[in-house]
């Protein structure tokens, strides 16, 4: 289920498109794969443990201050890549209070938008529990975007130098 809000007021995707303000997109995942299992002779309701990874790319031209709950935001200067993670049903299966630990079953994306545009949000659902090695891709993203930023800065310096050379040649 996807819910769109503008300045705290819920709107449809069609109504929020083109508007400006504080946008919040909530993607609520519901685990419907419930099983009754026998644990030490007691019947217990549990959900198949799914991990959801969702992501999208937002153009920075009309959005800033982009944040995501339980995820990662990587800004390359022109666009922002956001990736979030949820585990619907796991909190209930483990019987842990959200006061102790809050296991997300939704993903919230917030931003300050002008002329808001919706973009595709891709979700990948797997019953495989993510391992530490699976999460290393986020570290690689930081490194790649750091290199892209260095490349962009260097290209700007080259452009500035070329403009200075052109001005000097014209003056000469």
Q: Provide the pLDDT for residue 102.
A: 84
Q: Provide the pLDDT for residue 130.
A: 54
Q: Provide the pLDDT for residue 149.
A: 61
Q: Provide the pLDDT for residue 3.
A: 96
Q: Provide the pLDDT for residue 166.
A: 75
pLDDT (tens digit, 9 = 90+) per residue, 52-77? 999 999 989 989 999 999 888 988 88
- Check: pTM over 0.95? Answer yes or no: no
SS3 track for 62-107: HEEEEEECCEEEEECCCEEEEEEEECCCHHHHHCCCCCCCCCCCEE
Please list the residues that pair with 22 across neighbouring strands.
112
User: 19-53 burial by CB neighbour count: b if 16+ within 10 A, else e?
Assistant: eeeebbbbbebebeeeeeeeeeeeeeebbebbbbb
| Sites in the chain below the pLDDT cut of 50 | none
């Amino acid at each position: 289920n996807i819910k769109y809000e503008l300045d705290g007021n819920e709107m449809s995707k069609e109504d929020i498109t083109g508007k400006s303000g504080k946008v919040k997109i909530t993607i609520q995942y519901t685990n419907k794969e419930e099983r009754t299992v026998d644990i030490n002779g007691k019947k217990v309701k549990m959900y198949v443990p799914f991990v959801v990874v969702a992501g999208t790319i937002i153009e920075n031209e009309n959005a800033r201050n982009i944040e995501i709950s339980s995820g990662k935001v990587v800004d390359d200067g022109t666009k922002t890549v956001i990736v979030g993670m949820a585990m619907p049903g796991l909190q209930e299966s483990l019987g842990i209070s959200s006061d102790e630990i809050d296991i997300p079953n939704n993903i919230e994306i917030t931003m300050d938008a002008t002329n808001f545009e919706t973009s595709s949000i891709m979700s990948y659902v797997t019953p495989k529990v993510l391992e530490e090695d699976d999460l290393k891709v986020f570290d690689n993203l930081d490194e790649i975007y750091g290199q892209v930023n260095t490349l962009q800065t260097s290209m700007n310096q080259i452009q500035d130098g070329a403009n200075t050379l052109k001005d000097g040649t014209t003056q000469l």
